[in-house]
Amino acid sequence: MTEAGYTSLLPVSAFRSKRVIALLTTFALFTIGYICLLTLTDVSISMPKIHYRPPPMHHNEDIEPPEDATEGEADPNAHDPEDEPMSPNNGKGNGLSAESFKDSKLTYHSGLDAFRFISGDAWRPADAYEDSTSSDHRPNVGKLGNYKNKAEYFKQPLVADYANNTEKVFLMIKTGATVLWERLPLHLVTTLTRVPNFAIYADIAATVSGHEVIDILQNVTKSTMEHDQFSMYRRLRHLRDTHGGISPSETTLTGGWNLDKFKNIPMLLDAYRRSPDSEWFIFMDADTYFMMDNLMDYLNTLDPNDPLYLGSSAMLGDTVFAHGGSGVVLSRKAMELTVGEHPEWATESEEHALSVCCGDYMVAYMMLKAGIKISSGYDYPYVGWKFQGNTQSSLRLHPEVWCQKVVSFHHLEPSDIETLWEYERLLGPERRRDIRYGDIYRDFVAPYIQEEIFEWDSNPQGRTYTKEHDKEDKKENPDLELKSPRPWESVKACKQACKDKKNCLIWRYLPKDKSCKIEDAVRLGRPYFPWVKYGDKIDRTDVTSGYMIDRIRELRATKFECDVLHGASEEKLKNDEYREGWYRVKQLEELKQQEEAKEAEENAALKEQELEREKAANDAKVHDEQVQKEKELDDQKENVNPTASAEPEKQKSQEVNDKSEAKDSKPSDKPEKTESEQGDKKESADSS
463's CB contacts (< 8 A; 6+ apart) are 517, 518, 519
Which tens digit of pLDDT belongs to each residue from 338-363?
999 999 999 999 999 999 999 999 99
**CA 146 – CA 138 distance, rounded (Å):** 18
How many Cβ atoms are within 10 Å of 124's Cβ, its own excluded? Answer: 23
- What would the mean pLDDT of 277-292 be, rounded to a whole number? 98
Least confident of 553-557, 613-617, 625-629, 668-672: 668-672
Residue 639 is predicted with a pLDDT of: 79
Residue 80 is predicted with a pLDDT of: 43
- What would the mean pLDDT of 168-173 be, rounded to a whole number? 98
Residue 348 is predicted with a pLDDT of: 95
C-alpha triplet 191, 192, 198: angle, nearest 5°: 125
Asked if the model's pLDDT at residue 92 lies above 50, the reply is: no
Residue 643 is predicted with a pLDDT of: 56
Output b/e per residue, 239-278; b: 16+ Cβ within 10 A: bbeeeeeeebeeeebebbebbbbbbbbbbbbbbbebbeeb
* DSSP conformational letter for 522: B
Which tens digit of pLDDT belongs to each residue from 430-458?
989 999 999 999 999 999 999 999 999 99
- Taking Cα atoms as reference points, which of 225, 229, 217 lies closest to residue 257? 229
Least confident of 64-73, 338-347, 414-423: 64-73
Asked if the model's pLDDT at residue 648 lies above 90, the reply is: no
CA dihedral 635, 641, 646, 649 (to 10 degrees): -90
Least confident of 43-52, 197-206, 271-280: 43-52
Please give the C-alpha separations between residue 592 and each of 111, 115, 566, 578, in angstroms, as whole numbers: 13, 18, 34, 20
Which tens digit of pLDDT belongs to each residue from 585-597?
998 898 898 899 9
* Helix or strand holding residue 172 (H, E): strand 169-174
How many Cβ atoms are within 10 Å of 519's Cβ, its own excluded? Answer: 22
- What would the mean pLDDT of 422-434 be, rounded to a whole number? 93
CA atoms within 13 A on the CB side of 257: 6
- CATH entry 3.90.550.50 includes domain 166-439: yes
- Name the β-bridge partners of 508: 517, 545
pLDDT band at 94 (very low <50, low <70, confident <90, very high): low
- Taking Cα atoms as reference points, which of 307, 287, 310, 288 lies closest to residue 298? 310
pLDDT band at 132 (very low <50, low <70, confident <90, very high): low
- CATH entry 3.50.4 includes domain 448-547: yes
Higher pLDDT, residue 120 or 218: 218
- Of the chain, the end-to-end C-alpha distance in Å amounts to 120
Residue 18 is predicted with a pLDDT of: 52
Residue 119 is predicted with a pLDDT of: 83
- Taking Cα atoms as reference points, which of 315, 319, 309 lies closest to residue 365? 319
* DSSP conformational letter for 339: I
Asked if the model's pLDDT at residue 413 lies above 90, the reply is: yes
pLDDT band at 666 (very low <50, low <70, confident <90, very high): low
Residue 269 is predicted with a pLDDT of: 98
- What would the mean pLDDT of 208-234 be, rounded to a whole number? 96
Least confident of 258-267, 409-418, 553-562, 631-640: 631-640
**CA 327 – CA 284 distance, rounded (Å):** 5
Residue 346 is predicted with a pLDDT of: 96
What mean pLDDT is reported for the chain? 83
pLDDT band at 21 (very low <50, low <70, confident <90, very high): low
Q: What are phi and psi of 393, to 5 degrees?
A: -85, -25
**Would the CA dihedral through 66, 69, 72, 74 be positive or negative?**
negative
**CA 312 – CA 405 distance, rounded (Å):** 14
Which tens digit of pLDDT belongs to each residue from 136-154?
677 778 889 989 999 999 9
590's CB contacts (< 8 A; 6+ apart) are 110
- What would the mean pLDDT of 651-669 be, rounded to a whole number? 57
Asked if the model's pLDDT at residue 386 lies above 70, the reply is: yes
Contact indicator for 56, 157 with CB cutoff of 8 Å: yes
Beta strand pairing call for 211-215 and 198-202: parallel
- What would the mean pLDDT of 55-82 be, rounded to a whole number? 38
Asked if the model's pLDDT at residue 615 lies above 70, the reply is: yes
Please give the C-alpha separations between residue 470 and each of 220, 430, 473, 484, 498, in angstroms, as whole numbers: 52, 52, 5, 12, 17
Long-range contacts of 119-128 (CB under 8 A, 24+ apart): 119/419, 121/419, 121/423, 121/443, 121/444, 121/447, 122/443, 122/447, 122/583, 123/423, 123/426, 123/427, 123/443, 123/444, 124/422, 124/426, 125/426, 128/426
Residue 646 is predicted with a pLDDT of: 54
How many Cβ atoms are within 10 Å of 170's Cβ, its own excluded? Answer: 28
Which tens digit of pLDDT belongs to each residue from 36-68?
544 443 333 333 322 222 333 333 333 343 344
**CA 107 – CA 261 distance, rounded (Å):** 45
**CA 351 – CA 261 distance, rounded (Å):** 11
- What would the mean pLDDT of 503-528 be, rounded to a whole number? 97
Asked if the model's pLDDT at residue 8 lies above 70, the reply is: no
pLDDT band at 462 (very low <50, low <70, confident <90, very high): very high
